[in-house]
Chain A
Amino acid sequence: MNYTFQFGIALDRLPELLQGALLTFELGVLAFWGGALIGLLGASLKIYGNRLLYGLAQTYVVFFTNTPALIQIYFLYFGLPEVGIRWSDYTCVLIGLTLNAGAYLTEIMRAGFVSVHRTELEAGETLGMSRFQQIRYIIVPHIAKYIYPAIANFFIVILVMGTSVGAVIGVDELTGQAINISTENYRWLEMFMVTAVIYVVLTFIASISLALIGRWAFRVKAKIF
């Protein structure tokens, strides 16, 4: 082996990497919650909507789950200016990831909706629950418990894999920062190894937070590891 690893050089730049990690986390969280709202709407349309609304939601899901997020974001950044819409790099990544997440979360949430048994709602009615009470005490807890693991996994996917696409169009998130710094010190291997560890730590933090939220809010028996 001709190469001598020099991790000191990479670790000196930790503050800048952590700055990137913070942006990664921010993008991941915002895109996830934005996507969750879209997902809720999309799932409702697919379950309760008429044929037209169902078709709209279905087209959206098929388009966004069958094309890479990289291409979607690239189109928002470099394609839209050709028709006069010029969003910042950050906006393009955020909107792209949100739309992408929304499509996947539509399907995940739809699965939750259809998992509620008719009999459970009838039982609620028998007990004299109002529509709101049925949603509050039967549907939401049921859906949350049923789709919690899928949603939590998806958050990690968005956080770790989704956000790094930003590096391609000028967003200095964790991967972008790692490339920027490597350009200066040429210690690509060390930089990316340190970056990989930061991603793992980010994922750990996200898993633990999600498990705690799940246990506290939805009484899901979420295992951390």
Chain B
Amino acid sequence: MLRTMVKALLALAVTVMLFIAPSQARSLDDIIKEGTIRIGINPNFPPNSSRNANGEWEGFDIEIGNALAKELKVKVEWVPTETPQRVPYLVADKIDISLGALTRNTERAKLIDYTVPLHTEVLAVLTTDKVAAKKWKDLDTSDITLANMRGNWTVNWIKENLPGPKLELVDTIADTVRLVGQGRADAIVENIDFFMAHTKNYPDVKWRVIDDPIFVAYCAIGVGKGNDDLVEVLNIALYSLHSGGTVNELWEKWYGAPMLVKVVPNPYF
């Protein structure tokens, strides 16, 4: 029986290696030669990226992706990647670049490469009139439940900085807002710009943003480890999109308000 077990485990290990062994990222030359760039976007993330009534992708990321593809003179193949899939998809070479508000941090940078920042995000608290907290630190009590998503970097930030509250983790931004809307959770500590669009699904809930921003992080475009040629081209393209004002214009168009903290374009990278 032991032999059968060992055999089965070996077979499993080999199968797993075959299927998920990470491969070399597609080079810039390959992308140009094949005429298509595979861009990872969050499929359910308005106003960044979502499908419109006609089933077409639309949003800030979509316009940025199209602008970058235009610079490279290639077509875009959109690949829906949920929040926790972004880094694994880059590692496994299922996408060439990842949009989807990918926050820069050192843990991710060990596995993937980044371009210069695309936009910022401001960490703050979205809650309802049922919660009395005036400062974000007021949430650090055990009678609070915070909603968030599995695979999100803020989950760990919350565990370190707000150890008191319970955490309820779901899969998408829509579900996270739904948790608070339905009263399963009390607040969302996240980059709340991205969550506001979904609050409209719960018009009877008195939503409010606590006027005490926590900090500013930078989101960049994720690229496969060691794909330097692609990063360089994207950095130059991003510099023109930033300095020409396109990024800020698109942000205002989709978010209905200017980026709270703007990215300062820098020609040296």
Question: Which residues of A are at the interface with B, using a C-beta cutoff of 8 A?
Answer: 1-3, 78, 81-82, 86, 89, 167-170, 172, 176, 179-180, 182-186, 188-189, 192-193, 196-197, 200, 204, 224-225
| Contact indicator B12/A196 (Cβ below 8 Å) | yes
Chain A binding site: helix, strand, loop or mixed by DSSP?
helix
B22 near A3: Cβ-Cβ < 8 Å: yes
Segment of B40-48, B103-111, B186-194, B248-256 engaged in the interface with chain A:
B103-111
For window 212-256 of B, CB contacts with A under 8 Å fall at 224-226
| A99 CB → nearest B CB, Å | 21
State which of A169, A183, A188, A200 has its C-beta within 8 Å of the C-beta of B152: A183
A183 near B151 with CB under 8 A, answer yes
A81 contacts which chain B residues (CB < 8 A)?
Answer: 182-184
Least Cβ–Cβ distance between A206 and chain B, in angstroms? 14
Instruction: With both chains docked as a complex, state the minimum distance between the C-beta of A179 and any C-beta of chain B, in angstroms.
Output: 5
Q: Which residue of B lies closest to A199 (CB)?
A: B12
Q: Which residues of the partner chain A approach B9 to less than 8 Å between Cβ atoms? A: 197, 200
Alpha-carbon gap, A196 to B20, bound state (A):
13
**B84 on the interface (CB 8 Å rule)?**
yes
Nearest neighbor of A187 in chain B, beta-carbon distance = B111
Against A, the Cβ 8 Å flags (1 = close, 0 = not) of B59-93 are: 00000000000000000000000001001100100
B226 contacts A193, C-beta separation under 8 Å? no
Residues of A within 8 A of B170 (CB): 168-170
Contacts of A225 in B (CB 8 A): 1, 4-5
Q: Evaluate whether A170 and B225 lie within 8 angstroms (CB atoms) in the complex, with A3-B91, A183-B155, A225-B1 already known.
A: no
Query: Chain B: residues with CB nearer than 8 A to chain A?
Result: 1, 4-5, 8-9, 12-13, 16, 20-25, 84, 87-88, 91, 107-108, 110-111, 150-153, 155-156, 168-171, 175, 178, 182-184, 224-226
A192 to B151: give the CA distance in the assembly, Å. Answer: 14
Q: Check A182 against B22 for contact (C-beta < 8 Å).
A: no
CB neighbours (8 Å) of B21 from chain A are: 1
B13 to chain A, nearest CB (A): 8
Q: Are B155 and A180 in contact (CB under 8 A)?
A: yes
Chain A, Cβ-Cβ closest to B22: A3
Q: How far is the CB of A92 from chain B (nearest CB, A)?
A: 11
Q: How far is the CA of A176 from the CA of B5 in the complex (A)?
A: 26
Least CB distance from B169 to A in Å reads 5
Tell me how far the C-beta of B159 lies from the nearest C-beta in chain A, rounded to whole angstroms.
Answer: 9
**Are B150 and A167 in contact, CB atoms less than 8 angstroms apart?**
yes
- 23 example contacts (A-B, Cβ-Cβ < 8 A) are as follows A1-B22, A82-B182, A86-B183, A170-B168, A170-B170, A176-B150, A179-B150, A183-B151, A183-B152, A183-B153, A186-B87, A186-B108, A188-B84, A188-B88, A189-B22, A189-B88, A189-B91, A193-B13, A196-B12, A197-B9, A200-B9, A204-B5, A225-B5
Q: How far is the CB of B69 from chain A (nearest CB, A)?
A: 24
- CB neighbours of B156 from chain A (8 A): 183-184
A172 to B170, CA, bound (A): 10
**Given A168-B171, A170-B170, A189-B88, also A2-B225 (CB < 8 A):** yes
A157 and B84 alpha carbons, distance in the complex (Å):
25
Once bound together, how far apart are the Cα atoms of A192 and B1, in whole Å?
A: 26
Contact B182 A78 (CB under 8 A): yes
Q: Contacting A200 at CB < 8 Å: which of B4, B12, B226?
A: B12
